Amino acid sequence: MTLTGHARTLALLGMVGVVLASGVIWTSLQLRRATAARDLLSLLPVLGEVPEFELTERSGQALDLGELRGHIWVADFIFTYCGGPCPRMTATMARLQKATAHLPDVRLVSFSVDPARDTPEVMSAYADRYGADPSRWFFLTGPMETITHLAVNGFKVGSIEDPILHSTRFILVDETGAIRAYRDSAEGNVVAQLLRDIETLNEQRRP
20/117 same-domain check = no
Same domain, 16 and 68: no
β-pairing verdict for 48-49 and 178-184: antiparallel
pLDDT at 70: 96
- What Rg do the C-alpha atoms of the chain give, in angstroms? 25
2/101 same-domain check: no
* pLDDT of 41 over the 60 cut: no
Reduce the DSSP state of residue 67 to 3 states and report it. Answer: helix
Let me know whether 84 and 12 are in one domain: no
Report the alpha-carbon distance of residue 152 to residue 71 in Å, rounded. 23
| pLDDT at 188 > cutoff 80 | yes
Provide the residue range defining the domain that includes 92.
Answer: 48-205
| Whether residue 140 is found in the same domain as residue 171 | yes
Distances (CA, A) of 22 to 17, 29, 121: 8, 11, 62
**Total count of residues recorded for the chain:** 207
Answer yes or no: do 52 and 136 share one domain.
yes
Residue 180: its pLDDT value, please?
Answer: 97
Residues 115 and 195 in one domain: yes
- Which range among 11-25, 80-94, 124-138, 178-192 shows the weakest confidence by mean pLDDT? 11-25
Contact criterion met (CB below 8 Å) for 82 and 114? no
CATH number of residue 105's parent domain: 3.40.30.10
Closest-CA residue to 201 (of 184, 185, 177) = 177
Here the contacts of 117-121 (C-beta below 8 Å, separation 24 or greater) are 117/79, 117/80, 117/81, 118/79, 118/80, 120/56, 120/57, 120/58, 120/59, 120/60
Examine the domain organization and report whether 172 and 99 are in the same domain.
yes
Q: In this structure, are 81 and 147 located in the same domain?
A: yes
* Mean pLDDT value of segment 136-149: 95
* pTM for this entry: 0.78
Domain termination site, one of 42, 57, 72:
42
Which 3-state string (H, E, C) describes 153-195? Answer: HHCCCCCCCCHHHCCCEEEEECCCCEEEEEEECCCCCHHHHHH
- What is the C-alpha end-to-end distance of the chain, expressed in Å? 50
If asked whether residues 37 and 127 sit together in one domain, one would say: no
Q: Are residues 113 and 188 in the same domain?
A: yes
Residues 172 and 108: beta-carbon distance below 8 Å: no
- Residue 52: what pLDDT? 96
**Taking 90 as the threshold, does the pLDDT of residue 107 lie above it?**
yes
Question: Based on the domain organization, do 90 and 65 belong to the same domain?
Answer: yes
Q: Rounded mean pLDDT of 136-156? A: 93
Domain count of the fold of the chain: 2
